[in-house]
Chain A
Amino acid sequence: MSSATIVRVALGAYLLIFFSYLLGPLVVMSLTAFNSAAFPSVSPWACFSFEWFRVLYDDKHIREGIYYSIIIGVGTVILSVSMGLAASIVLTQIWPRLRSTYYTLIIAPILIPGVVLGISTLVFWDRVGKFLGATDGSFLHDLFHNGIFLTILGQSAFIASYAMLVFVARLQRFDPGLTEAALDLGASHTQAFRKILLPFMRPAIASASVLAFLASFENYNTTTFTIIDYKTLTTVLAQKVRLGINPSISSLAFIIIVLTIFAALAFEASQRNRQRKEAIKQGKQKSGSKGFLPSFMRGNPAAILFVLLACVVIVMISVANSYSAKECKVRVREARQIEIQQRIDALKKARAAKELANPGQSQAPATGDKPANAPSGAFGNVFDPNNLTDETQEKETPGGSGAFGNVFDPTNLNNDE
């Protein structure tokens, strides 16, 4: 085997391990969503079932959690994107000498633990309320103790820094000469910002918004302090895990995974479609009227995958509506009962056989005073099912009274007859 082949095989193995490490848990979790067993598991496989999706849909807490998560997510996007944009513009305008200090200051919230941000948000706005003289029941007091308000502020405190990093990267490619050109042509500063800088920043604003929404949606450690009497998806899930989970959470995970894949494929497909149109426009590529695929899917694997996945999901939903796991469940329950019965029978049989072979076994400690004989099984038969029944007899026998049938009794070594 040449060294190149070895390298290739090793690389393949590495990639396999890497991706199973990354995606394995997601696959297993998705599978548990379709198992009818009440605890999320893949084996033993009970029945293929969609019931956990129904359970999820019927769960009022999760529905409310998602609703508030979305509201908070939208609020956080608006607040953190505008703060991040402002911060990044200031970074380009500030005196060069102050720039690195300013940058450190503005990036610090990312380094502060979310827990600290959560608690400090809570405390700070309470103090602000007190300082402004907000009394119990007044509007300001209610606002500063409102879970949604505080969570949006608390999350934006650090998500704005993430957004700023996205904007700074884009702004570095902005030619400040463009703003000057706009001013020179008679634009006011507002017009120059709105007509020149903002359109340039649009892609960055879009990606920062997605980033901010996702960061807000999945945030737990800040939210758990600031949410007070509201709930978000993450806090609901955390409560559920504490009280015992069922596969409806897996089904939620499955839905989120599918939505993510959909969004990624849609983005990729539209991107490729645009590149292709550009190429056709510049005459580098023929529009290619041949082929049975519709034009937006031609030479665009992402679009094809997207359509395939959409078909799979549609089939799944229609199957879920007609399919019932009832029959299977009955079968499984019967099989289970039979199995349990068999196990009980086997146990009974084993005990009967044992008693037949050694009829005086349970009385042995009482008749003989040789303790070395008495504990015949491991641990001196303390786990023998008969132990509890003949309590009285055992009390009289010094040999079998202690744990492990007194094998560790110091006198044991003396009676070696």
Chain B
Amino acid sequence: MSSGVAVDLENLWIRFGDFVAVRDANVAINGGDFFSFLGPSGCGKTTILRSVSGFLEPSEGTVRIGGRDMAGIGPNKRPTALIFQNLALFPLMKVWENISFSMEVAGVSAGERRKRADELLDMIALEGQGDKMPSELSGGQKQRVAIARALCANPDVLLLDEPLSALDLKLRQHMRTELREIQQRVGITFIYITHDQGEALTMSDNVAVMKGGVIDQIDTGHDIYDHPATPFVASFVGETNVFRGKISRIDGNQALISTNRSGDLLARITPTQVGKMSVGDDAMMFIRPEALQLGEADASAKTTISAGTVNEEFEGNSFSVFLEGDGGKSIKMSVPNVGQDNISVRGKDLSLHYDANNAIMMPAGELASD
């Protein structure tokens, strides 16, 4: 997909007084990409979006859209359209007037506007609803009207600021698919802001994970999940178990960590840190709940954890088993609900093992939700 327009952020700094909202962001977004900024609230992702749409001038650095420097160009002159978190549909205008607002301010005649609005209403499966007021629509319909209104302006880049956060779970999942379909149909660049990792992973070509104004990692969803670059990314995206300790041995791209409670554990060093870690360093090891399996490995593999069971939860497609872990935190393990009638393990001591390639080692750092 090379039809769309690329967006480049170079050495972007945005400050509010003494507060640094965005610190030295460098992002190259390919034309036609579905690109997500993922991070907890207050991490600066909305600030980046506002600087792309033109509501905010960066303190330093440049924003380029299609290779053109956007400095000094106002939001009404940029080839972007923004979908607001609260949608910001104009409450006093009919649906079709909302959709065709960008044509109205450009001086297009009412007949033509109506025609285009009806075309877009067809596209979002709201045929014949053009004469309703926005307040008469349901949440999902408003959502689609907001998208149609933004698309009506024929933007090169569509910016979406957590547009699904106000919807209920079912509708949110439905809209994910729909958004992705619309993006592939119109072929323009989408920049999507979210704190929901599920949204980011399912829809995006590429994801940037942010924390406190800094971009920690830019990668495909798959790579972010499997090869997190920092402890923050590892703990923020998806569920994971953390083991802390000191490195006791390094063997190529694998390292051994000695933990307080679970003994020596072996894991692969994350790609960016290979060769940079040394024996005695404080380190963290991450294992996903689904990478843990019941049973013991052979003693020499150093990939066995023994612990008492604290609790278990039934989640429909799987069981979650919680075991005593380090520092008051429990270890979570996910057992698929296939062919087991009742595997109650409450109160038992269990042995778990894992493949060292599914566990990741990296220098100790800040975790999400600490």
Contacts and interface: CB of A to CB of B under 8 A. Distances in A.
Interface of A: 175, 177-178, 180-188, 191, 195-196, 199-200
B193 interface: no
B55 A180 contact: yes
B319 to A, nearest CB: 44
Interface of B: 53-55, 74-77, 80-82, 84, 86, 88, 90-92, 101-102, 104-106, 149-150, 153
Contacts of A175: 86, 88
A185 B84 contact: no
Contacts of B82: 180-181, 184
Given A182-B101, A186-B105, A199-B92, A177 B84 contact: yes
B70 to A, nearest CB: 14
Contacts of A184: 53-55, 75-76, 80-82
Contact of B92 (A177, A183, A188, A200): A200
Contacts of B150: 185
B88 A185 contact: no
Contact of A181 (B80, B88, B92, B104): B88
21 contacts: A175-B88, A177-B84, A177-B88, A178-B88, A180-B75, A180-B84, A181-B84, A182-B105, A183-B55, A183-B74, A184-B53, A184-B76, A184-B80, A184-B81, A184-B82, A185-B102, A186-B102, A186-B105, A187-B76, A191-B105, A200-B91
A188 B86 contact: no
A70 B234 CA distance: 73
A66 B90 CA distance: 42
B169 to A, nearest CB: 25
Given A182-B90, A182-B101, A200-B92, 10 more contacts: A175-B86, A177-B88, A178-B88, A178-B91, A180-B84, A181-B82, A184-B54, A185-B105, A186-B106, A188-B76
Contacts of B102: 185-187
Q: Which residue among B84, B91, B105 has the maximum number of chain A CB atoms within 10 Å of its CB?
A: B105
A178 B90 contact: yes
A196 B93 CA distance: 9
A180 B88 contact: yes
Given A181-B82, A191-B105, A186 B153 contact: yes
Contact of B101 (A177, A187, A200): A187
A78 to B, nearest CB: 24
A199 B98 CA distance: 14
A162 to B, nearest CB: 25
B98 to A, nearest CB: 9
A175 B84 CA distance: 11
A178 B53 CA distance: 15
B88 A195 contact: no
B90 A188 contact: no
Nearest to B102: A185
A178 B77 CA distance: 17
A195 B84 contact: no
Contacts of A188: 76, 105
A196 B91 CA distance: 9
B92 A185 contact: no
A185 B86 contact: no
B28 to A, nearest CB: 23
Nearest to A189: B76
A8 B308 CA distance: 69
A182 B102 CA distance: 8
A185 B101 contact: yes
B96 to A, nearest CB: 14
A386 to B, nearest CB: 89
B18 to A, nearest CB: 15
A42 to B, nearest CB: 51
Contacts of A187: 76, 101-102, 105
Contacts of A182: 90, 101, 105
A172 B74 CA distance: 26
Contacts of B75: 180, 183-184
A178 B101 CA distance: 12
A78 B102 CA distance: 31
Contacts of B105: 182, 185-188, 191, 195
A187 B318 CA distance: 52
Contacts of B55: 180, 183-184
Contacts of A186: 76-77, 102, 105-106, 153
Nearest to A194: B105
Q: Which 5 A-B pairs have the closest CB atoms?
A: A185-B102, A181-B88, A177-B88, A187-B105, A184-B82
A285 B150 CA distance: 37
A191 B107 CA distance: 11
Nearest to A191: B105
Nearest to B161: A177
Given A186-B106, A195-B105, A177 B76 contact: no
Contacts of A191: 105
A184 to B, nearest CB: 5
A178 B87 CA distance: 9
A184 B82 CA distance: 7
Nearest to B84: A177
